[in-house]
Structures are given as structure tokens and as C-alpha cells.
Amino acid sequence: MTTTDSSSSLRLFLAAPVDPLLSAQLHDSLVISRDMLPALRPVPVTNMHLTLAFIGNYPEQQLQQTLLPALQQALQEARPGRVYLRQVTGFPRADQASCLVAEGNPSPTLLQLHHLLQQTLAPIVDSPQDNQPGLWRPHITLARFLNTPEDPVVATPWLQELPVSEVVLYRSNTTSHGPVYQALQSWSLN
């Protein structure tokens, strides 16, 4: 595994982009419902994504030498998948929510993709939270609560399919207005 100091590292994650129309629909629904929710900070439409694997801080000098070649090789045979969105709810738990998310069930091929990425990343990055079997809950973060809500967040049905046909390596840049995600590399799934 690789460890690094944050001064020469990039904060990275792998994700599937969310279709702009779906992002806009989710955002519009959030705006309409905002008065019925605890205080929150919406995620910008341009930042909406489905996280496939969190990498964390990664040495910038090893990006081209180690990470990109490993991902390129692993993703050559990866297949497209889907998430069957089923609800908007609190995350990680309705009774201790820090975020509001659109959550769903992965297709078998999406589970295989997630597992493939975890296997590929395990020897080269520090990501213990993602390496636990059965803990991955596919979701799109819609907003972050300013404080943990006093009452559990009541789930609202949201039934829609999210096709996953691309994997993007994103860099998270922290700004005074929140994170901005920059796509560094993308791979189409066959």
C-alpha cells in the first residue's frame, strides 16, 4: 500500500458520471422539498456522481507510473452495469444522516465492477473502508446536512435506472465554496 503526505498528493476517487438530465431532476426535486427538510447544503449538479471506489490521498508522482496503468489493465474487460435507484434517504443511516442521497441496488455486473476496482486498488492505495465485502451501498449524494437531523430522515421512493457505462478518475479540489471535481481520466465500458 502507498502512504503519502498530503502536500504532494491528489485526493482521488473513481465514479460513474450521472446523466445531466437525471442530475437536474434530482436537484429540482431537492429544491422543491427543501422547506420540508433540515438545513442542508445541496451538491452542485456538476458534482453529482456514483462513487465506485474511494482512493483518498494518492502520491501525484505515482499517478502515471502505477495507478493509471493498473486501472487501464483492469478496466479492459469490464462490462457496463446499472443501479436501480429506489429511494431518496438519509445516509449512512436514516437516524444518523450526514447526507441526503438517492440510493439503489446494483446490477450483478456493477457489483463485479466494484469488486474488480477494489481488487485492483487494494495493493496500491489505502482504502480499508471500501474493502469490506457487502458494505458498498451505491448512491448519489444530493446534499449534506448542516447538522445531524434530530429526527430520522424518512425515505421517499425514487424509482429510476442509472446506466453505468463509463468509469472516471476524479480529483477532488477543495475550494472556499466546497469541493470541485476534475476528471483526470475516463474509461468506456464495453
Among candidate residues 136, 30, 61, the one with its CA nearest the CA of residue 92: 136
Residue bearing cell 444522516: 97
Our count of domains for the chain comes to 1
pLDDT of residue 2: 47
∠ CA 75-184-139 to the nearest 5 degrees? 70
Whether residue 92 has a cis bond before it, omega within 30° of 0: yes
Q: Give the pLDDT of the chain (190 residues) as one tens digit per residue.
A: 444 445 589 999 999 999 999 999 999 999 999 888 999 999 999 999 999 999 999 999 999 999 999 999 999 989 999 999 999 999 999 999 999 999 999 999 999 999 999 999 999 987 545 555 568 999 999 999 999 999 999 999 999 999 999 999 999 999 888 899 999 999 999 8
C-alpha triplet 149, 146, 181: angle, nearest 5°: 125
- Residues 121 and 10 sit within 8 Å (Cβ to Cβ): no
174, part of any domain: yes
Kindly report the pTM of this predicted structure: 0.90
Please report whether residue 47 resides in a domain: yes
The answer to whether residue 12 sits within a structural domain is no
d(CA 22, CA 24): 5
Q: 3-state DSSP call for residue 42? A: strand
Residue 137 lies in a domain: yes
Could you list the residue range(s) of the whole structural domain that residue 146 is in? 18-58+66-188
The answer to whether position 110 is within a domain reads yes
Q: Tell me, what's the pLDDT at 103? A: 97
Phi, psi of 63 (to 5 degrees): -60, -55
Distance, CA of 28 to CA of 45 (rounded, Å): 10
Tell me, yes or no, whether 25 lies in a domain.
yes
Residue 1 lies in a domain: no
CATH at residue 181: 3.90.1140.10
State the pLDDT at residue 133: 57
Residue 7 lies in a domain: no
Q: Is 99 helix (H, G, I), strand (E, B) or coil?
A: strand
> What confidence tens digit (pLDDT) does each residue in 81-131 have?
999 999 999 999 999 999 999 999 999 999 999 999 999 999 998 754 555
